[in-house]
Amino acid sequence: MLAVSGLVAAFGVFGAPAASAQGCANPSGTYTGEVPWGQRQVDPARLWPLTRGSGQLVAVIGTGVDAQNTQFAPGQLDSGAGTERTDCDGRGTIAAGIVGAQPDPSTTFTGVAPGVRLLPIRYTTGDGGDPGELAAAIDRAVDRRAGVILVAVPAAADSPALSGAVSRARSRGAVVVSAASATQQGARTYPTATSGVLAVGSVNPAGAPVQTEAGDHVGIAAPGAELVSTSAGAGGAVAHRWPLTDPGLAAAYVAGVAALVRAYHPELSGDQVVTRLTLTAHRPPSGGHDPRLGWGVLDAYAAVSSTLPAEVAPPGAVSPAASAPAVVPAAAAAARPRDIAAGTIAVAGVALAAAAGVAVAAVRRARRRGWRPTRFTP
């Protein structure tokens, strides 16, 4: 079992989960404070009228997921060969909650895509693990037809088996999301740094990067500090851990939004989903790529709702249609229900007035030409 010191190192000073006498993570309680800032930043409820992620299967690869936390809906966690519905370490349950925890009246915390199904796969019980075992876990996710594969706990080393598993996942159309979570300066995690994987950096409430791992491979950033999520060790209740700081949380936010994009745009390939996520992100202050923020901070509303050209190049690439970089589309502001009703009435009024004017003009013109209405006989 993972020692408490290992959990502190994994989550940082904000997010060290309490441990029971057996060394497993315990909840802080049921969170009833204000809506967590990361949830406000992503604002998934704004997208739920469009999609809640229904029909999408998200694999959560790491330490398992505790199925006894009742903020997961009955049947939401897939079972069967290769799945693990217990979690001593706690990180898998935390990541799964950010992806798909259900709204519940006892708490202000909720997941990004509560309509998804979750596929809990354990390949490690602690910090990182064998890349070969991680490769096998990704293959299991592909075999179960997961459309989004979240690597919540990456490996510290690469291997041909791991890069091969990523390649197979992409060939089957899956979006592979992995946390940039190396703690040593200059180090990289895998498959985070593998080509074709959406590598995710973390930001705090001020928008500043918090993870150590950096490089050209980082594609996007999302909230990853001072957060709230579901806890292992719930024992049949709605239970949470807070405050939490871990790069895996940022990757979970991105995976949840990727599932929303896939549900709303089922025609897109996995690579096109990645392009959409990075193209619509809020650009870093430099305007270009940042080694820790990637192409910017996740914008969930723009990623799901924006209209993009059928063929659009990812950031940093030259568009096949033009030599200029692709332009980030602006998302329209969500109208309030009252505004929608008023606008509909106004537009309808204008349309009726216009139609009436056309009709009156037509009748006057016809009468000048000697037209008279005929009598209809059935």
Mean pLDDT (the chain, rounded): 83
CA distance 257 to 300: 6
For residue 245, pLDDT over 90 is answered with yes
Domain layout of the chain by residue ranges: 4-305, 335-378
pLDDT on residue 129 = 86
Question: What is the CB neighbour count within 10 angstroms for residue 195?
Answer: 10
Average pLDDT over residues 279-306: 96
DSSP state of 346: H
For residue 237, pLDDT over 90 is answered with yes
pLDDT on residue 310 = 67
Cβ atoms of 71 and 208 within 8 Å: the answer is no
For residue 351, pLDDT over 80 is answered with no
Domain at 4-305, CATH class: alpha beta
pLDDT on residue 361 = 42
Largest CA distance in the chain: 98
Query: Lowest-pLDDT range, 219-223, 269-273, 308-312, 333-337?
Result: 333-337
CA distance 327 to 353: 39
pLDDT on residue 345 = 36
CA distance 219 to 199: 5
Question: What is the CB neighbour count within 10 angstroms for residue 157?
Answer: 15
Average pLDDT over residues 293-297: 97
pLDDT on residue 375 = 35
For residue 8, pLDDT over 70 is answered with no
Query: Lowest-pLDDT range, 94-98, 103-107, 263-267, 286-290?
Result: 286-290
Pairwise pLDDT comparison (2 vs 312), residue with the higher score: 312
Average pLDDT over residues 118-138: 93
Nearest one of 107, 111, 127 to 28, comparing CA atoms: 107
Band of the pLDDT at 80, cuts 50, 70, 90? confident
For residue 77, pLDDT over 70 is answered with yes
247: its two tokens: 């790069």
Dihedral sign for Cα atoms in the order 264, 266, 267, 272: positive
pLDDT on residue 196 = 95
CA distance 326 to 323: 9
pLDDT on residue 19 = 52
CA atoms within 13 A on the CB side of 176: 31
Q: Give the pairing of strands 148-151 and 175-179.
A: parallel
Average pLDDT over residues 181-195: 95
Tokens 């923020």: give the residue.
Answer: 293
> Residues with Cβ < 8 Å from 362, sequence gap 6 or more?
none
Query: Lowest-pLDDT range, 122-131, 163-172, 220-229, 231-240?
Result: 122-131
pLDDT on residue 22 = 58
